[in-house]
Amino acid sequence: MNVRHRTLAICLSLGLLTAPLVSWATVVDDQQALYQDNGAGPFNAQRGEQLWQREVVNRKDGRVRSCTTCHGNNLRLAGKHIKTGKVIDALSPSVNEKRLSSAKKIRKWFKRNCKWTWGRECTAQEKGDFLSFIQR
């Protein structure tokens, strides 16, 4: 039992946490454990935040891209898709309980967004750091 699981268990027994909160924490733990199996870790929210703001010039259009391009700097606020103009609901599970609750979604969007933003897939280390930052 790691520290988070123990904390969760204590909070649960005190009835302090709601069900959706439990599910995203568990999903994130499981994902990070998988990344660790691939040699990554430990993960760090501050490093995740730096990666979040990391700017990469796109080879095709010569413009700067970062995760903030669509999601903004404040994960508790909604973002806006740079291409479609559509609103993207806040990414922070603290204000949006649907976030980080599905491993499938996390995998899908990491793949797509890393490729679009940085021109390559993110490493296991980067993904683990991102998750620590997003769930902070």
Question: In Å, how far from its chain's centre is CA 5?
Answer: 19
Nearest distance from C-beta of residue 90 to ligand HEC, angstroms? 9
Q: Which residue type sits at 17?
A: L
Q: From the list 8, 25, 28, 114, which residue makes contact with ligand HEC (rule: CB under 6 A)?
A: 114
Q: Which C-beta is closer to ligand HEC: that of 8 or that of 93?
A: 93
Give how far the C-alpha of residue 120 lies from the chain's centroid of Cα atoms, to the nearest Å: 17
Q: Give the tokens for residue 18.
A: 């709601």
Structure tokens at 122: 């993110």
Between residue 29 and residue 68, which ones bind ligand HEC under the rule CB under 6 A?
67
90 binds ligand HEC (CB under 6 A): no
95 lines the binding site for ligand HEC (CB under 6 A): no
Q: Quick check: 28 binds ligand HEC (CB under 6 A)?
A: no
Task: Pick between residue 12 and residue 64 the one whose CB is nearest to ligand HEC.
Answer: 64
Q: How far apart are CA 98 and CA 84, in angstroms?
A: 22
What CA–CA distances, in Å, run from 12 to 4, 8, 15, 17, 31? 12, 6, 5, 6, 21
Binding site for ligand HEC (CB under 6 A): 67, 69-71, 81-83, 88-89, 91, 99-100, 105-106, 109-110, 113-114, 116-118, 130
